[in-house]
Structures are given as C-alpha cells and as structure tokens.
C-alpha cells in the first residue's frame, strides 16, 4: 500500500493529489536580498538566457525553465538560492524583524535560515542550530555564499537547548535570556518530499512516524519555553501525517503556555485548514488555524505550517 493513500480522506481531489505526487518538482530559486534586488537578479537571468517565471504569490521566488540553478553565475555569487517554493512559507509566517534575536532550531542546510537573515536585513542575532554536526558544514557554506553575517551556528540537541553559552542568567548586558521568535522546521517522515525524492517512502513505517513525533514534541516544547512572552514560534514539517502535525501542536498546547495564532497565507497561494480529528483522535479546535499544503494546489511539495504565540 502506498502510505499516501491514508490521506485520501483529507484532500479535496484524490486523483489530482496522487497525480501531482508523481510529477517531478519544478526547479525554484529565491532571490537573496542581502546581495541583490529582484530586478537585478531577473536581469542577470535574462542576460544569461535563463528562462524563468515569477510565482503568483512572491516576486522573489522564481521557477526556472531548466533544472540546475547552481550552474548560473547569479547563483554562484549568492544572488540566488535553490529553495523549494513551499519551504519559503515558514520564514514569512515567523516575520522576523531587523535587530531581533531569532532561533532556528533545526537549521541545516540553511535555506530557511538564510531567508530569515534576509528578512532581518542581516541585523540582530540569528542563531542557527542543528544536532547533526555534518550538516552544519552545508549551513555555513550557504550562509557564506549568500553573505549572511548575523548568524551564530550551534550544535545542540534542540530538545534540551541551553542558552548558557549566550550568558543566560548573568549580568552581561548583551546576554540572551530568551528568543524573540523561534522557527521549528522539524525533522519528519518527509512524505511531502516525494516529488523531489521519489524514494522518500521506501522505508516509511508507522513506527517511524510515531518515533519522530516524539522528537518533534520535544523540540517544539523547548522552543516555546525559550521564547519570551508575546514572542512567536512557527512549527513546520514536510509531511502530511497528522500525527506529526496537528497532534504535535495539540500536545504542546496542553503542556506549555502558548496559543495558536491566525495568519494568512500569501495571496495566490492555496492552503487547507488543519484537521481537528484523525484516526479516532480529537485535537484542540484551534489547530484548524494551521495551514496544510497539498501538491496539487500550487504545484509544490507537501507541507504543514503553524504559528503560535507564547503567552507566559
């Protein structure tokens, strides 16, 4: 059985959903505002006879006619970064502001991290963490190529993340005791990447779904704990499983001082509501405020994104 068949009751058009999952994913790049403008990047692609089309919902997200953006000089010089279209959503939902302290809990290889730096005008403090030391080299490489200078890289288990290295509970006036905003783009079963990685479901099991859900709950709880009152936490995955999405939110809403926040997906980008019941389980009604992205709606990968506010 195709694991994706279990989600047929959730989608509005089963046939379109499965057909989209079987198609290759378009090649997409994000314009890096730290080094250039959308206009200059487009002009460079035009000069190089690289065909592209701007997405309907974001002028700086470009779909290329051909695959392999890394072969263009604008990419080499950090004007462009290859990033799946739908993965630009979490940073936009988090809405980081220049000068703030931001935590990216699971940062490598750095697409969302460098997008956060761009939105912050490369100011403030952006802490990019990953527990996989090997993947941090990709994060550092991408940050350097894209000209990011406000990034601090750490290698910790996000479930037990410590602010002690940043002077927590000291008299240091520059100490960091809490984050203004945090992004948890959590490790997951990666069902939504099937268009990019056709073998993504080869080793899929329900045991793995439940196992990774436990990790997700721990990371999201720590993000809420480490973010100041009134601060924002965004939770995202590239999977369809409610066990890894709404169930994780439901758990954290019950255990930590936070609440779901309504946010609008960009105009022209279609999403579905979060589900409030699944496989005999009922979730907090507010998880409906989350956004589900199905491949057939925007010709993207599958995704899930939710926004929370820390209340105490």
Question: Is 95 known as a binding-site position?
Answer: no
Question: Is 279 known as a binding-site position?
Answer: no
Question: Is 157 known as a binding-site position?
Answer: yes
Which residue spans within the chain are E strands per DSSP? 27-31, 52-54, 61-64, 80-82, 101-104, 125-129, 151-154, 179-185, 227-237, 258-260, 272-273, 277-278, 281-282, 291-293, 303-310
CA angle 173, 176, 179 (to 5 degrees): 140
Nearest alpha carbon to residue 106 among 223, 225, 228: 223
Is the Cβ–Cβ distance between 107 and 148 less than 8 Å?
no
Question: Is 185 known as a binding-site position?
Answer: yes
Alpha-carbon distance of 233 to 103, in angstroms, equals: 9
- CB count in 10 Å sphere of residue 15: 10
Question: Is 177 known as a binding-site position?
Answer: no
How many CA atoms within 13 Å lie on the side-chain side of 111? 17
Concerning whether 238 is annotated as a catalytic residue, the answer is: yes
Question: Is 109 known as a binding-site position?
Answer: yes
Question: Is 107 known as a binding-site position?
Answer: yes
- Which candidate in 190, 238, 258, 305 is catalytic? 238
Just list the catalytic residues.
Answer: 238
Binding-site positions for S-adenosyl-L-methionine: 106-112, 130, 157, 185
């Amino acid at each position: 059985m195709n694991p994706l068949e279990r989600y047929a009751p959730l989608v509005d058009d089963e046939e379109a959903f499965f057909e989209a999952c079987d198609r290759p994913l378009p090649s997409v790049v994000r314009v890096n505002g730290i080094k250039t403008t959308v206009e200059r990047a487009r002009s460079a692609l035009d000069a190089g006879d690289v065909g592209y089309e701007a997405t309907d919902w974001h002028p700086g997200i470009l779909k290329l006619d051909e695959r392999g953006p890394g072969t263009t000089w604008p990419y080499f010089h950090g004007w462009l970064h290859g990033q799946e279209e739908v993965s630009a959503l979490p940073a936009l939902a988090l809405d980081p502001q220049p000068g703030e302290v931001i935590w990216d809990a699971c940062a490598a290889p750095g697409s969302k991290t460098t997008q956060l730096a761009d939105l912050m005008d490369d100011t403030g403090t952006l802490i990019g963490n990953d527990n996989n030391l090997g993947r941090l080299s990709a994060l550092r490489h991408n940050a350097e190529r894209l000209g990011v200078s406000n990034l601090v890289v750490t290698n910790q288990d996000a479930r037990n993340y410590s602010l002690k290295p940043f002077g927590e509970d000291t008299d240091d006036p520059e100490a960091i005791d809490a984050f203004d905003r945090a992004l948890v783009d959590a490790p997951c079963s990666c069902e939504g990447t099937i268009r990019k990685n056709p073998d993504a479901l080869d080793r899929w099991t329900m045991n793995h779904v439940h196992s990774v859900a436990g990790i997700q709950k721990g990371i999201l709880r720590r993000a809420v704990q480490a973010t100041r009152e009134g601060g924002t936490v965004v939770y995202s995955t590239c999977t369809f499983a409610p066990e890894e999405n709404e169930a994780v939110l439901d758990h954290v809403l019950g255990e930590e001082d936070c609440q779901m926040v309504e946010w609008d997906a960009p105009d022209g980008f279609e999403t579905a509501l979060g589900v409030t019941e699944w496989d005999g389980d009922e979730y907090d009604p507010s998880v409906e405020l989350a956004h589900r992205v199905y491949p057939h709606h925007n010709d993207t990968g599958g995704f899930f994104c939710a926004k929370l506010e820390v209340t105490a």
